[in-house]
Amino acid sequence: MLDHALTPQQLQVVSALSEGANMTDAAAQAGVHRNTIANWRRNYLPFGEALAHAQYDKAMLFREKAEDLVDLAFAAIEAIITDPKATPATRLKAAMFIVEMTSTPPAPKKQVMLDVVPVQPPAVEPATEMHNEVHKVAQSELPAPVQTIRREHPKVGRNEICPCGSGLKFKRCCLNKPQPTVAAQAA
C-alpha cells in the first residue's frame, strides 16, 4: 500500500477501514476520535485516495478468491439443478449469484476530482465623505428611553382576598373579570 504522505495514525485507519472495521473501531485502534476520521475523509485528499485504493485492492482480492471458486460453484449449481428435491427458487438464486459474480466487471478506482477556484479577496471601496456621513448618522441615533409602568395600587395575588369585598379569593372572584379602565374609574 502506498503511504500517500499519510501519518502513521492515518495509515492505521486506512488499513482498519479497508479490512472491514467500522469508523468507531478504526478510530479506537488508531487512538483518534471518529470525527477526526470523518474530517480526513472529507477534507484531506491523500487520505481519501489512500482509502479508495485500499478498498479497491480489497475488492479485487475478494474477486480473485471468488474466481478461484467458480468451477466449484458451477459444480454445486449443477448438483442443485439436477437434484429433484431442490426447490426452483433455490436453484435460480444460486445460479443468478454465481453468474452475476463472474460476469460483472469490477468497479473502476474511485477518482477524486477537485475543482479549484481561486479565491478573490473582497473589493475594498475607498472611504468617501458620503459613506462617513451615513455611518455617523446611523451611529448617532439613540433608541427612545423605556418608560416604566407604575401601578396605583399594589398587585393582588391570586390567593389573596379579593379587593372587591366579596370575601372570596381573588382567583375565584375577579381574576378573570374584565378590569375597569382608568378612564372608567376616573368618571
Q: Kindly report the CATH number assigned to the domain that includes residue 57.
A: 1.10.10
Q: What is the pLDDT of residue 128?
A: 55
Q: What is the pLDDT of residue 168?
A: 92
Give the range of the structural domain holding residue 1, as residue numbers without chain letter.
Answer: 1-61
Q: What is the pLDDT of residue 146?
A: 82
Residue 75 domain flag: yes
Residue 175 domain flag: no
The residue ranges of the chain whose pLDDT is under 70 are 1-4, 111-117, 119, 121-142, 179-187
Which helix (H) or strand (E) element contains residue 54?
A: helix 45-68
Q: How many domains does the chain have?
A: 2
Residue 105 domain flag: yes
Q: What is the pLDDT of residue 5?
A: 81
CA distances from 144 to 98, 141, 147, 151, 174 (A): 81, 9, 9, 22, 36
Question: Same domain for 16 and 55?
Answer: yes
Q: What is the pLDDT of residue 159?
A: 93
Other Cβ atoms less than 10 A from the Cβ of 17: the count is 22
Q: What is the pLDDT of residue 124?
A: 60
Residue 159 domain flag: no
Query: CA 2 to CA 80: how far, in whole Å?
Result: 44
Largest CA distance in the chain: 108
- Between helix 45-68 and helix 70-82 the angle, nearest 10°, is 50
Question: Same domain for 48 and 6?
Answer: yes
Three-class secondary structure of residue 161 per DSSP: strand
